[in-house]
Each structure stands twice: as C-alpha cells, then as structure tokens.
Amino acid sequence: MRPSSRRIVVLTVAAVLVGVTQPACSKEPPAAKAPEADEHRGHGYTALVDDGHVVNGKRMLEMSVTEKGFEPSSVVLLQKNQPVTLLVTRRTEATCATSLVMADQGINEKLPLNTLVEIAFTPRQSGMLHYGCPTGETTGRFFVQ
C-alpha cells in the first residue's frame, strides 16, 4: 500500500472511531422515550407518560394549549389521592379550548391567552380521567393509578 493510501485509511479509521465514541462522552443523559404501541395493546393505544415533578407532596404538571390541542397529548400517569396542580398556558387564539373542563373533578377554568393558570385537584378514583374544552372537541386524558 502506498504511503498516501495508508494515510487516508488511518485518517478514515480515526474519524470513524471518534464518531462512534463521541456520543458516549456526551454529558446529557439520553431522553426518556415512551413505549411504542404494539399489537398486544390494541387499537387506539396511547403510551403512558410520567411527566411533571413532585413539590411538597403535590404533582406539578405543565401543559399548553396550542393549535394541536392540549400538550402533552400523551396520556399522563397520575397517582390516586396525590394532589395535582396543572400549570396551563393557552398559547393560541385558534382553539376552542378557552377553558379547561374536567367534569369528574368539578373543574371549569377559563384559560386567558398567554396567561399561566394553576388548576389544583386530587384524583380520588383509579382509571381514566378525561378533560377538554367546553365543546368537547379538544380533549385529553390522565390515567390514575
């Protein structure tokens, strides 16, 4: 092998090794990924996402209302009898979700544009907890364990 060809091979191998090892040196942890739907979970399955954080025993969950609807749009996992505070901001005029209605919890809160609204409740029963806009066109769900 000629010296110039050998140099190209060595540089190529070095570049590949740097490319392979570089992600392992990253300081950021890999992003958590929700499980994918599969044939065992059935049609319409939505992955459960454990979002938010607990502060003084209360679950704090940030949500937005966008052109896509309520976000996060995945079904969020909540714990029975654990107080929850939703921190909701409506970020668009182009939505029917000018209020958040959660009939099972007796909640009907107005969502002014670009204003953070705190909605506190404590889920008392296990199962799906539905919420949405006043017309029922834009909806979301929590799963309570």
Does residue 78 lie within any of the structural domains? yes
pLDDT tens for 37-77 read 444 434 443 444 445 678 888 889 999 999 999 998 777 89
User: Cα–chain-centroid distance for residue 101?
Assistant: 20
3-state secondary structure of 19: helix
User: Strand 58-66 vs strand 84-90: parallel, antiparallel, or unpaired?
Assistant: parallel
Does residue 114 lie within any of the structural domains? yes
Q: CATH code at 116?
A: 2.60.40.420
- Predicted model pTM: 0.64
Does residue 42 lie within any of the structural domains? no
Number of domains in the chain: 1
Does residue 36 lie within any of the structural domains? no
